[in-house]
Structure 1
Amino acid sequence: MKKFILPALLLMALVLGACGNKQEDKSNEAAPKEDEGKSGTITYESEEGPVEVPADPKRVVVLASFAGNVLSLGVDLVGVDSWSKSNPRFDSELQDVEEVSEENIEKIIELDPDLIIGFNTTKNIDKFKEIAPTVTYTYGNFDYLTQHIEIGKLLNKEEEATKWVEDFKQRAQDAGNEIKEKIGEDSTVSVVEKFDKELYVYGDSWGRGTEILYQEMKLAMPEKVKEAAMEPGYYALSAEVLPEFAGDYMILSMFDAADNSFMETETYKNIPAVKNDRVFVANGDEFYFNDPLTLDYQLDFFKEHFLGTK
């Protein structure tokens, strides 16, 4: 077993620049305020300093994993990264939105954006700044909920973002209490993903619903997973040792293109969670982000499979 070199999907969607995503309040103290000189702009305090951005952006390009955050706040997108574009959860919202990348400078110019959002590792940032106000984030600098509030500040919708975060935390914690009452305080849950030729287990801050299960619901993590995956956020393992990392319940994130033949082995079939019908299979393409649209979907998924409700 060894820690893996991140596949492109994870690199693009969740992993750029950082391991952790635990809830720490690193939000900017000052909310964006209207620029005294220009009625149509606000000043957002970004990682790189103040940036003048539209007070009511209409044509946003996202070159990172924040498309769901922007969509959930009712702001129009004109361009998104490939992984957001291919996410089935976003199909209807992104139907008429162009797929772009950090290399598509000419295409982005044609889209005439009024705001561009990316990671601090996004290429060609200086060129994008010449096209439109550009704000970047270091992945993991904010926990997953504070990140949404930051996007809310950027889009001049901090109140809406904060209201959603408070409501979501309450809903997730309430559901967690119900789940623990049903399965027992000591029952463990592991999050496993089959991608390409590898199996992975995840800690408490790497998407795939881990933030909900472990941070909000406070469900127990198997000791083996805690030892191997908590600090780096993920751990690669072989199918032969999966039983050592399997919880009493397993969330199994799967991709159609992956080789899932491990599920036909006796090793897998003899895992107690498998034998007791306590494996909940999720569509990996829908499950890896941690924006509000995805988080609401993940919460409904857990309520349906653990409790039989939504």
Structure 2
Amino acid sequence: MSFVEYLGRVRIRKGQELLQLSDKDLHLIAQETGFANDYYFSRKFKQIVGVPLTVYRKQPKRIAVLMPHATACLLAWGIVPVFGVVGLWMEPWLTAHYRERLDCSGFRQGEWYSDKTVQWLAANPPDLIMVYREEYTERLWEIAPVFTIPEECSDWREELLVLAAAVGRREQAERWLLLFDERALAVKNKLAVQRARGETFLIVKIVSGKCYVYSNMTSMGGCLIYDVLGLQPPPAVQRNMIEKGLLNIHVPLDDLPDYSADHIFLFHYHSHWPAAECEVLGSSVWRSLPAVKNGRVYESDPNVFYAYDPLAMEKQLDWLEEMVQSHFG
């Protein structure tokens, strides 16, 4: 195509993005995308997109999501994407939950960013594509407007609200956060004695005989356990992970006592190899940990705790509520 034609398509693509992700009026969007006036913008929009601009803004959008967390968030807000990447931890409990409550007949589960995914999107162009990594956007922009989660989203709440605003669910997300915080406060108050004593809590994931320790970030319940409930991590977790902004680290078995805590939240991905199963939990190092000796190890479903979307966070809080009642009630 000619340069003029290409430039016109780029301007309309940016206009599509602004129409979906902002409340700006048409006159301002026309200015920001390089059109002389609303009339010319509207005429070119219909020519390229195929529907009148005013109709496009009001009609439900077909969204493709190339990140499991955003797929789960959209489903939580009652939005079924036409294409969505689903993580292994979402099957079957999370997807089954929504298939019972939403019309998912038009939902296609797909792979992470791949040639197969791009080919499907090109053949079935959505109105918006949501991704995390900016290096994907150039190729995807040829298909549809692309929304990239800003890298400055440093915590789960901010990311949730950014996602919600992008799909017109900001108020719904804010209401959910208020209700969630009210529930979490009740659980936090039940742990007041342990918090006052300065008792420490460690998050450990075991996979194929290897130990991984988690911080206060967005996986294995870190943001809920440390940030929302305010439970105290061991000094080594604070020093080596939280202060450095690390999600997790692999801790060799012999170094595990350095991360010793009064309580351990254990997430065990069971291996098919019995030797790997016993390597950690059957070791003298594991058995010597204070939390293990005192019977303060709490194991739950790692798939539920892997994610941090609204449904996963609610299920995590449900489990923590029951755990607190049975061990500290």
TM-score (norm 2): 0.71
For 1:115 and 1:91, how far apart are their aligned partners in 2?
22
The CA deviation at 1:188 is: 0.9
Please list the CA deviations of residues 156-205 of structure 1 after superposition, one character each: whole Å capped at 9, or x if unmatched.
Answer: 11110111112212222321121233675411111111234531112212
1:133 match: 145
Distance 1:82 1:142 in 2: 22
Aligned to 1:116: 129
Q: CA deviation at 1:36?
A: 3.4
2:147 is paired with a residue whose SS is strand
Q: Report if aligned partners of 1:54, 1:114 keep a CA contact under 8 Å in 2.
A: no
Q: Deviations over 1:230-278 (max 9, x none)?
A: 1142222112222331321111122234733211112212322122221
Distance 1:217 1:85 in 2: 23
CA distance in 1 between partners of 2:230 and 2:89 (Å): 32
Letter in 1 for 2:163: I
Percent identical residues: 22
1:300 pairs with 2:318: yes
Task: Tell me what 1:168 maps to.
Answer: 180
Asked if structure 1 preserves the Cα contact closer than 8 Å seen for 2:89 and 2:304, the reply is: no
Name the structure with the higher helix share: 2
Q: Which has the higher contact order (CA 8 A, sep 6+)?
A: 1
Cα deviation for residue 82 of structure 1 reads 4.6
Q: Which amino acid aligns with 1:32?
A: S
Q: In terms of mean alpha carbon deviation, does 218-227 or 276-285 score higher?
A: 276-285
Q: 1:72 and 1:122 mapped to 2: Cα distance?
A: 28
CA distance in 2 between partners of 1:84 and 1:117 (Å): 19
Partner Cα separation in structure 2 for residue 217 and residue 68 of structure 1 = 23
C-alpha distance in structure 2 between counterparts of 1:159 and 1:212, whole Å: 22
Against the structure 1 CA distance between its residues 130 and 160, is the aligned structure 2 distance closer, same or farther, given a 3 Å change threshold?
A: same
Aligned to 1:48: none
Partner residue, 1:6? none
Question: Are positions 1:62 and 2:61 aligned together?
Answer: no
Contact 2:208–2:270 at 8 Å: present in 1 too? Answer: no
3-state SS of 2:220 partner: coil
Pairwise CA distance, 1:117? 0.6
Distance in 2 separating the partners of 1:54 and 1:173: 40
Matched, 1:75 2:79: yes
Stretches of structure 1 that go unaligned for 5 or more consecutive residues are 1-30, 38-42, 44-51
Gaps of 5+ in 2: 1-20, 33-52
Query: By how many angstroms is 1:119 displaced?
Result: 0.6
Q: Distance in 1 between matches of 2:160 and 2:170?
A: 9
Q: How many residues align?
A: 266
Coordinate RMSD, CA, aligned: 2.9
Larger strand proportion of the pair: 1
1:93-121 CA-to-partner distances (Å, cap 9, x unmatched) read 36753223211211223444222111134
Post-superposition CA distance 1:62-118 (Å, at most 9, x none): 112312211111101222225267544423136753223211211223444222111
Shift of 1:34: 5.9
Q: Which amino acid aligns with 1:80?
A: G
